[in-house]
Every structure is written in C-alpha cells, then in structure tokens.
Amino acid sequence: MDRQGFSCVNANSSARFRLRRRPESVRVGGMDELSILRYSLSDERAARLERVLAARTRQIAVLVVEFDKPHNLMAILRTCEGLGLQDVHVVPLPDRPKDPVTESITRGAHKWLTLHIHPTWKDAVAHLKQAGYRLYASWLDARAQALESLPLDGKIALVFGNELNGLKPGYVADCDAAFILPMVGFSQSYNVSVACAMALQRLFLEQERRGIARAGLSDAEQADLRLEWYREAVPHAEALVAEARRREAEGRPVFPAARTLRGR
C-alpha cells in the first residue's frame, strides 16, 4: 500500500490501483463492517453517499495516455468524479512513477474513483476492449469526426493523449473512431483537461437527446463501492473496527466504540 492509501493488484497484466484498504468486509459478532461504520456517519452524509452511488456509471470511462503535466491529469480526475464516472485509466510516460495522484490538486476526488494504471498502451487497449468498450480518440485531424456523429450507445472510453503531441498515429489506429471538438477561434487546440470536460458534457447531452439512458452500477458493484467509500468517509475507520472487535472480545457493547472515536 502506498502513501495515498491505494492498494495494487494485478488485472490482465495491468497494475490496477484500487481504493480498497482490505479485500473483504470484517465481521464483528453479528454485525458487518458496513453497519459499524454507518453508525459513525450522520444521516445526511450517508444519504449523500447513496445519492452519488446511485448516479455512478461504468458505461463511460476515460483513458489518459502519457501525460506530461500532472495537474492536467488531476483536473481530469476531478471532472470525471464530478460527472459521475467511476473508472479512469492511465498510461503513464515510461519514465514516470506509476502513481501520479496528488492529494492537494485533486482535493480528494481520487478517493472516490477506481484508477486503472496500465504499464503500456497495448495493455490498456486490451483491457478496455475485453471489457466491451469502444475507444474514441481525441484527435486534431481533418479525418476526425464530430463526437455527436458517432455511435454513443453501449460502453465508451474517451481517449486523450500527451499535451504537446497528442496521441501517436498508431494509438489512434487502435481506436474505433476519432473525434474532434469544434473551434472557431485562432487557437489550435483546447487544454486537454478542458477538452475532456467538454467532450464528456457533449457526449452526455447527445445521449440525452437520443434517449440513451445512463447505465448505473450493478447491486454487487454498489455494495463493493459502498464499503470502500464508508472506509474513506469515516475518520479512523480501521481503528474504529479494531476497537469494536476488542469490545466484543471483552463482552462489552460494540456501538459505544463508534461514539468514542467519532470525535477524534
């Protein structure tokens, strides 16, 4: 586990950074970990977590490739989280660390996302296509199409390349289509994080116009994320569960442990 609180497991030869601190829920007596942590959340906080969870989707994902400026990646993470996406895929530059997340820039948005860090472009493409995604590349070329003209049903991953050079031609060729955002000024291109936000918004608006419903998460996915998010939302979550287990072993009520740690 790194300093950000991410744990890493292998997934089809790609390194996937997940938010989960422990692989499975801990049980204390007849109560599961979620019930213990829920006791430490206000009703308002728990309700907000449920509203956000209900709006989450894996139907749309974003893949960022070989970014040079960390702040652009961080801005994209915040945009994706704010728009309800759950998955962001990253292919770092070969000479860069595998964990590019900076807490101060994302303002904690990454805590609520599932980040997939792939060692190479080919790994990322294979992973996404195996999961059923069509890849649409952001490309400054006359051959690129308006995003609104592309098929927008099913699972879609929008792909954004390096700030200076964009996506390599070979990368674009591996994608299912290429899109370009309209511009009427003198500037040649948008900042990549701005382009990502614009593309996602245009995609969602066009889907709404076509009557394409946004697919939510399955019950199992929601349950998995709910536990992860409770662990993020409750201060000292691990200590709280440990205290509950100690109280159970001593034959004392479990719930006062939540009151003890809530104010720390």
Angle at 133 between CA 131 and CA 134, to 5 degrees: 150
pLDDT tier for residue 98 given thresholds of 50, 70 and 90: low
3-state SS string over the chain? CCCCCCEEEEECCEEEEECCCCCCCCEECCEEHHHHHHCCCCHHHHHHHHHHHHHCECCEEEEEECCCCHHHHHHHHHHHHHCCECEEEEECCCCCCCCCCCHHHHCCHHHHCEEEECCCHHHHHHHHHHCCEEEEEECCCCCCEEHHHCCCCCEEEEEECECCCECCHHHHHHCCEEEECCCCCCCCCCCHHHHHHHHHHHHHHHHHHHCCCCCCCCHHHHHHHHHHHHHHHCCCHHHHHHHHHHHHHCCCCCCHHHHHHHCC
- Lowest model confidence (mean pLDDT) among 66-70, 92-96, 168-172, 247-251: 247-251
How far, rounded to the nearest angstrom, does the alpha carbon of residue 220 sit from its chain's CA centroid?
Answer: 17
pLDDT tier for residue 239 given thresholds of 50, 70 and 90: confident
Mean pLDDT of the chain: 83
- Give the separation between CA 39 and CA 256, rounded to whole angstroms: 10
Amino acid at 50: E
Residue ranges of domains in the chain, CATH in brackets? 7-51+218-257 (no CATH), 57-210 (3.40.1280.10)
Q: Given the DSSP bridges, would you call strands 133-138 and 87-91 parallel, antiparallel or unpaired?
A: unpaired
pTM for this entry: 0.83
Burial letters for 108-119: b for 16+ Cβ neighbours within 10 Å, e otherwise?
A: ebbbbbbbbbbe
pLDDT tier for residue 106 given thresholds of 50, 70 and 90: low
In this prediction, residues 200-205 reach a mean pLDDT of 98
In this prediction, residues 55-67 reach a mean pLDDT of 97
Q: What is the pLDDT of residues 109-162, one digit of tens each?
A: 788 999 999 999 999 999 999 999 999 999 999 899 999 999 999 999 999 999
pLDDT tier for residue 73 given thresholds of 50, 70 and 90: very high
pLDDT number for residue 59: 98
